[in-house]
Each structure stands twice: as structure tokens, then as C-alpha cells.
């Protein structure tokens, strides 16, 4: 049993607490929070507003960061220096430099770093990856992906998730980054990007409608859309020279209701498989626990952690400039 602290008990932090309730691998014993102290105590969690107090706790094994994006580097580094393993919600940072520094701190102090890119752990995505790695899809040509939702419309205007400095190119930082990360995991490092983000149907100052074209060093492309002013939709399609695979989500991942994987072989035959609900968020946390306990390596390679943030940073530049931007190598 690993004792963990959750830093930040907002929407996602509370979801993490609920997911880990009664878990036999990870036990939430501490929380860093101010406004949600009553919630923490009601759940048997000791709250504090002092991060250092948590890091000094010798009984604590790891921290889970559900905090504003710009704070991640400092919080990851301080946890690593205290010898605590770190699970950081996405994105790991807002710049490639921050991602590299966070990884370096964890490696220096021999602690595990996990990142909240749970799409990698969805069962149909794992099957699509198996098909791609086995060569069943042939040469990978292009990805089309969309992750849209309207949950942010209910947030107060001063919420940090709506702050352009915390979430540049708003829909991409909020949701589209999940599919940007998946694209990196299938296609490798990105080379160039061009992004458009607009505020069309909401009061979201950092935009509600985004389209991105990501060009990879392999020559393949990813077309990513993310909208914050429409009901939930999630779709990931991977096209190859010998076939394609499309994953459609039946609900938002904070209340999973399963997926449909449709594949098409070179002869044009379609096959659809329905997957029952499971929590990819929990699967990611269990992979983190496995890595902390030495059972297995954490399945997200660190070079991909960096490549995702490098592509994200270039997307921010493109959204601001309106131009094609190069991804830092």
C-alpha cells in the first residue's frame, strides 16, 4: 500500500479521490488544499495548505498534482527533492524546457514520474497500438482526432483553467492535448504545426473552438480538433496503408461508458467491437503504482513526455502567430 497526497481538490482532484476510495494499491492520506478542507476531512484525508508539510511526512510515498499548469515544474521538483514519487496531471508543463527540467529532477532523485495522459490506457487504444506495432495497418499515414466537451461553460470566469496564461489555445490545453499526446505516441516527434483557435460561442477568453494540423518527422500528419462549446464527443482514427482503426468514446472519461473500435482491413472489410466501461484514469494510476513498486517500468517513455510538450508549445506559438511554427527538437 502506497500512501499518497493529492495537491488540489478541485473537479479533477476530487475525481482522483473517488477513484482511489478503497483501492488496495494507492491510499490518499493527505491533501494540499484550502477551499476543500471540509471535503478532505469528510473523506478521512488530512488537509493542509502547506505543501512543504506534506513533503516532510515520512509516511508519504508519492504526490498526485491536480494543480495549475504553470506550477508543475516547481511542484514536481520539490517533490523529487523530498524523495516523493510524482504523478502530474497533464500537461506536464507549458514549455519543452519545463518538461525537460521536471524529468531531470525526478531522474536525479530516483523517483518515478507519471503523467495524466490516460488515453494511452484505454483498451481500444491499446488494441489499435497492437495492430499498428504488428504492421496490420501498414505504413501509418494520418490521424484524425476530436475531443470536445462543454463542461467548462459552467466554470466561473476567474477559474484558472480559463486563464490564457495557464491554458494558451484553451481547447488544446484542456482536452486536445490528450490526442496530441496519442499522436506523438503513434507517429513519433512532431516537426511543424499550424493552429487556429477562436472564441465563437462562449465567454471563454482563451477560445472555444480549435483546429490543429500537426506534421511529423515521419511525414505523417495529425488533424486535431477540440471544442469547449459543444456536448461531449471523442474520436480517434488512425489511418494506414493497409487499413485503419477508429475509436469512438461513448461518454466523457470522468464517467466512462465504454468505446467502439471499428477497423477496416486492406480488402475493405469492416469489423466493430464494443468495449465495456473501465477507468483509464485508474489504469494509469495503477501503472504508476507498478513503477513505484518496481514491478514494471512506467509505460510512457520520457522522450515522448518531452515530445508532447514540445509539440504543445509550438501549437501555442502558432495559435498566437497564425503561422506555421517549427517544433523544437
Please, which pLDDT band fits residue 16 given cuts at 50, 70 and 90?
very high
What number does CATH give the domain 2-118? 3.40.50.720
Q: CB under 8 Å to 234, separation ≥6 — which residues?
A: 146, 147, 148, 248, 249, 252, 253
Query: How far is the C-alpha of 211 from the C-alpha of 45, rounded, in Å?
Result: 41
Cα dihedral sign, 127-284-250-181: negative
For the segment 94-109, the average pLDDT, to the nearest whole number, is 98
**What residues does each domain of the chain span?**
2-118, 120-326
Query: How far is the C-alpha of 308 from the C-alpha of 305, rounded, in Å?
Result: 5
For the segment 253-269, the average pLDDT, to the nearest whole number, is 91
What is the predicted pLDDT for the residue at 327? 98
The yes/no answer on whether domain 120-326 falls in CATH 3.40.1190.20 is no
pTM of the model: 0.95
162-182 pLDDT per residue, tens:
888 898 999 999 899 999 999
**Whether residue 313 has pLDDT greater than 90:** yes
201-253 pLDDT per residue, tens:
999 989 999 999 999 999 999 999 999 999 999 999 999 999 999 999 998 87
Amino acid at each position: 500500500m502506497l500512501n499518497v497526497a493529492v495537491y488540489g481538490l478541485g473537479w479533477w482532484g476530487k475525481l482522483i479521490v473517488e477513484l482511489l476510495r478503497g483501492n488496495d494499491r494507492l491510499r490518499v492520506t493527505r491533501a494540499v488544499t484550502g477551499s476543500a478542507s471540509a471535503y478532505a476531512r469528510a473523506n478521512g484525508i488530512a488537509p493542509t495548505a502547506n505543501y512543504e508539510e506534506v513533503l516532510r511526512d515520512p509516511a508519504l510515498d508519492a504526490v498526485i498534482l491536480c494543480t495549475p499548469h504553470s506550477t508543475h515544474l516547481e511542484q514536481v521538483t520539490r517533490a523529487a527533492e523530498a524523495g516523493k514519487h510524482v504523478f502530474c496531471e497533464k500537461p506536464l508543463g507549458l514549455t519543452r524546457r519545463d518538461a525537460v527540467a521536471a524529468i531531470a529532477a525526478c531522474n536525479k532523485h530516483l523517483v518515478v514520474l507519471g503523467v495524466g495522459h490516460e488515453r494511452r490506457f484505454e483498451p481500444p487504444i491499446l488494441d489499435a497500438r497492437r495492430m499498428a506495432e504488428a504492421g496490420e495497418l501498414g505504413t501509418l499515414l494520418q490521424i484524425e482526432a476530436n475531443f470536445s466537451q462543454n463542461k467548462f461553460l459552467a466554470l466561473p470566469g476567474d477559474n484558472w483553467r480559463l486563464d490564457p496564461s495557464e491554458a494558451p489555445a484553451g481547447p488544446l490545453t484542456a482536452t486536445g492535448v490528450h490526442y496530441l499526446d496519442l499522436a506523438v505516441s503513434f507517429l513519433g516527434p512532431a516537426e511543424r504545426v499550424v493552429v487556429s483557435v477562436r472564441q465563437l460561442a462562449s465567454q471563454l477568453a482563451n477560445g472555444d473552438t480549435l483546429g490543429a494540423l500537426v506534421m511529423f518527422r515521419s511525414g505523417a500528419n495529425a488533424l486535431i480538433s477540440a471544442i469547449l462549446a459543444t456536448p461531449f464527443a471523442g474520436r480517434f482514427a488512425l489511418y494506414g496503408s493497409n487499413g485503419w482503426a477508429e475509436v469512438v468514446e461513448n461518454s466523457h472519461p470522468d464517467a466512462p461508458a465504454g468505446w467502439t473500435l471499428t477497423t477496416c482491413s486492406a480488402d475493405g472489410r469492416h469489423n466493430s467491437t464494443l468495449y465495456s466501461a473501465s477507468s483509464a484514469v485508474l489504469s494509469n494510476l495503477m501503472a504508476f503504482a507498478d513503477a513505484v513498486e518496481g514491478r514494471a517500468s512506467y509505460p510512457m517513455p520520457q522522450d515522448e513526455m518531452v515530445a508532447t510538450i514540445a509539440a504543445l508549445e509550438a501549437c501555442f506559438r502558432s495559435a498566437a502567430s497564425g503561422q506555421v511554427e517549427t517544433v523544437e527538437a
